[in-house]
Amino acid sequence: MQLKKYTDYGLRILMYLGTKEGVDGRSSDDAKGKLTTIKAICETFDLSSNHVNKVVHHLGRLQLIETRRGKNGGFFLAKAPNEIRLDYVIRQLEGDEPWIECHNPYCVALPACELKGIVARGKELFYDYLHEFTLADLLKKRGQLQQIFSTAS
Amino acid sequence: MQLKKYTDYGLRILMYLGTKEGVDGRSSDDAKGKLTTIKAICETFDLSSNHVNKVVHHLGRLQLIETRRGKNGGFFLAKAPNEIRLDYVIRQLEGDEPWIECHNPYCVALPACELKGIVARGKELFYDYLHEFTLADLLKKRGQLQQIFSTAS
DNA sequence: TTATAATATGCATTATTCATGTATCTTTGT
DNA sequence: ACAAAGATACATGAATAATGCATATTATAA
């Protein structure tokens, strides 16, 4: 019972982008508006580039970030931080299956089982709570994060 | 993000015991007060006896059931169904680690990270909700469950 | 007191899923 | 044309859950 690292990495990437973001959604650490690259993320968080690659791609498909191929390519947030709800990010990256498995192996009690509904409702309460937060909430200590990200590598 | 089958099996076992339970906490399908055995559980739910063995042992250590070794041994509920709270059962069987892993690999953002607290609170809301329910709630359709369990095998 | 039926326990093995690695393709700016 | 970036497919490795096997321990009954 734990979120996948995949999901975790996705959230870290969004946080990183959130700290870089200027008015135009580009990296602000450079006047040229350089984009953030997978390489930069990997160096900052010390992660495998292959994995980050996939997560970035996924975030792109979700239209949470915009990716640019080719030289000087990279990616940046496609929405304002306060429009990126945590429940959505986690549900999508994590996958949204029921938290309890009634088939595989099939449970004979299924037709009279009250449990699956209770767990499903609990799951929804978890996500309802996450729905109250956005990426902006993760950036409260933005200055400190910027400092961490700029010195890490 | 899913409960372990181990946890699921534990809950099924408790439900099974709940349907058998008479005034004395013994199986009521037989005047002799025969105890429920691992074998009976395995036949009913079509599970591996080794796995059930371990879950039963765990439930015993948690004092949710009382186990009896030796010939004519078995086990039965050690508490009334309405005293067995689902949050407790699930927390114990599932293990109670944080749902998000900040170390392993260590995350540089940790000192300024708002995420861990949000997820931790969401997790608590999930368990708070489960706390409202007991095994008795899982036995609402007790008659139907009894019928299922007596015909399965 | 011996056989038997039950749980207890430890170790080994298998299966599943997550995580990571390698290679190559495609795109795009220089 | 070249180089730097993401896109994609496939393969491998690692972690953990699930299961299997063997044996010990205990209690009852013949």
> Would residue A37 count as lying in a domain?
yes
The pLDDT of residue A21: 74
Of A108, A119, A109, whose CA–CA distance to B86 is shortest?
Answer: A119
Mean pLDDT, chain B, whole residue set: 92
Q: Which of A14-23, A120-129, B29-38, B42-51 has the lowest mean pLDDT?
A: B29-38
Domain CATH code at residue A139: 1.10.10.10
Report CB contact under 8 Å: B101, A5: yes
Contact B51, B9 (CB under 8 A): yes
- Nearest Cα of chain A lies from the Cα of B52 at a distance, in angstroms, of 14
The pLDDT of residue B33: 65
Distance CA A13, CA A25 (A): 14
> Would residue B121 count as lying in a domain?
no
| Mean pLDDT across B40-69 | 96
Distance CA B75, CA B66 (A): 5
The pLDDT of residue A69: 95
> Would residue B128 count as lying in a domain?
no
The pLDDT of residue B31: 39
Confidence of residue B25 (pLDDT cuts 50, 70, 90): low
Nearest to B138 among A11, A111, A115 (CB): A115
Q: What is the pLDDT along chain A (153 residues), one digit of tens a residue?
A: 999 999 999 999 999 999 997 645 555 444 356 899 999 999 999 999 989 999 999 999 999 999 999 999 999 999 999 999 999 999 999 999 999 999 988 999 999 999 999 999 999 999 999 999 999 999 999 999 999 999 987
If phi > 0 it is left, if psi is from -120 to 50 it is alpha, else beta; for residue B104 that is: left
Report CB contact under 8 Å: B122, A99: no
Nucleotide nearest to B73 (CA to C1'): C6
Contact A24, B21 (CB under 8 A): no
Q: What is the pLDDT of residues A7-20, one digit of tens each?
A: 999 999 999 999 99
The pLDDT of residue B5: 95
Q: Is the pLDDT of residue B29 over 70?
A: no
Its domain, for residue B88, covers 5-97+135-151
Contact B65, B20 (CB under 8 A): no
**Residue B74, SS3?**
strand
CA of B30 to C1' of D30 (A): 22
Provide ipTM, 2 decimals: 0.93
Confidence of residue B24 (pLDDT cuts 50, 70, 90): low
> Would residue A112 count as lying in a domain?
no
The pLDDT of residue B104: 84
Size of interface A-B (CB pairs under 8 A): 139
Number of structural domains (chain B) is 1
Nearest to B86 among A105, A118, A127 (CB): A118
Distance CA B115, CA B100 (A): 9
Q: Is the pLDDT of residue B27 over 80?
A: no
> Would residue A13 count as lying in a domain?
yes
Residue A107 or B22, more confident: A107
